[in-house]
Amino acid sequence: MTDATPRKRLLIRTWGCQMNVYDSTRMADVLAPLGYAPTEQVEEADMVILNTCHIREKATEKVFSDLGRLREAKRERGGDMVIAVAGCVAQAEGAEITARAPWVDIVLGPQSYHRLPEMVARASRAAGAVIETDFPAEDKFDHLPETAAPQGVTAFLTVQEGCDKFCSFCVVPYTRGSEYSRPVAKIVAEAERLVSLGARELTLLGQNVNAWHGEGPDGRPWTLGRLVRQLAEIPRLARIRYTTSHPRDMDADLIAAHGDTPALMPFLHLPVQSGSDRILKAMNRGHTADDYRRLVERLRAARPDLALSTDIIAGHPGETDADHGATVALIRDVGFAQAFSFKYSARPGTPAATMAGQVDEATKDARLAEIQALLRDQQAAFNRSRAGMLAEVLVTGPGRHPGQMAGRTPWLNPVHFDGPASLTGQVVRVAITAGHPNSLSGVIGTPSHATTRERPAA
């Protein structure tokens, strides 16, 4: 494309998980050869993509609310705007989207975004919407461009998609399909490209990322621990993380990698969902509360400074006061640095939606409030415990105030400190002076090339 080629403007709005953030980035990549450049202003957008999430309550209605506003924006442009709905709501609600919002031009599921250029061309010729919500036989990653826009100092890299667990409350197996693991060679090649574009930290993504078992160079499946060790050899890659994990897939090799691979950060998101064995069985989680406790012990034995985050659902069908109490007890026993907690909301087509014993909203609200108060206290206590440490912080960019920089500790805490913009992308030592409920503050030391393990401030 020459400089004289007219540029089109693309606006992507993203909801949900880091996987959706990665998908949005790759959709922008596949549309770039068609002349689409990013914009944040809807009034100047030639194409708008809503990349949706179906996990949380009322997700579909939020999409239709946004589509109503986009209808007016499209009308003001004389119809000269392509509107696409992508992601998990598109996968689950494709027919309903086109029936309720006939001004939508494209509906595509998360396994079809590599076909976007073809769909844009078809939409320009079609009288109705172009819908792609099948699970294609071909691997979408084989059809994505090798070149990609820089993601920044921190970058996401999808290594695994789909889920075979079929938890009672979850739509992911129906919207993302069965588990698929990308081959080692393709992951390493993409990681090297991201690092060459400035990434210092990579987060490996998957609906069940620790179920990854991609084909290695010898034609045999690798473990995620082995992949992490391979990626740690990439020059200038300082940090590796992965999310989201399932307790059933946390094998011995991955646990060992937390102890023997300094680049693997000491922070792990490990959803438990409930502390009640009865509810865990109803959820089809495949583990007990004590299984989870023992797993945490093994992880902390391998990496003593490991911090954990988790997911908790309050009010799953059939949950009693005793079940709720077991969840509170598990939270107290384990101790979490961060957590995501929600009250149960039914997802059409999932087993839990039709289970007996649906919990009333007032009870769910009360249980969630107790859980969240405890989790907030644990997060605040963890942040306060960082004060006095000399932490190695990856500088991600400017902070909110003039002269201020921001970064992340190995435990994913946001940190703010005074320093020059030239530090962006470096790992620097910061003496943590205070821990706040959601962040840390500190004073900069010197650039570091050492291990990320904690050390006391001098």
Annotated binding site for [4Fe-4S] cluster: 17, 53, 88, 163, 167, 170
3-state DSSP assignment of residue 233: coil
| C-alpha distance from residue 362 to each of 89, 317, 328, 345 (Å) | 27, 14, 18, 13
| C-alpha distance from residue 455 to each of 387, 391, 407 (Å) | 11, 7, 18
Token code pair at residue 60: 């579909």
- CB-based contacts of 387, cutoff 8 Å, min separation 6: 432, 433, 434, 435, 440
Gap between the Cα atoms of 270 and 180, Å rounded: 20
* CA atoms within 13 Å, Cβ hemisphere of 117: 14
Beta strand segments in 117-265, E? 130-132, 154-158, 160-161, 180-181, 201-205, 239-243
Helix ranges (H only) for 284-350 are: 289-302, 321-334
Gap between the Cα atoms of 30 and 36, Å rounded: 9
Return left, alpha or beta for 284; rule: phi > 0 is left, psi -120 to 50 is alpha, else beta.
left
Extract the annotated binding site.
Answer: 17, 53, 88, 163, 167, 170
Q: Single out the residue of 122, 120, 113 nearest to residue 144, CA to CA.
A: 113
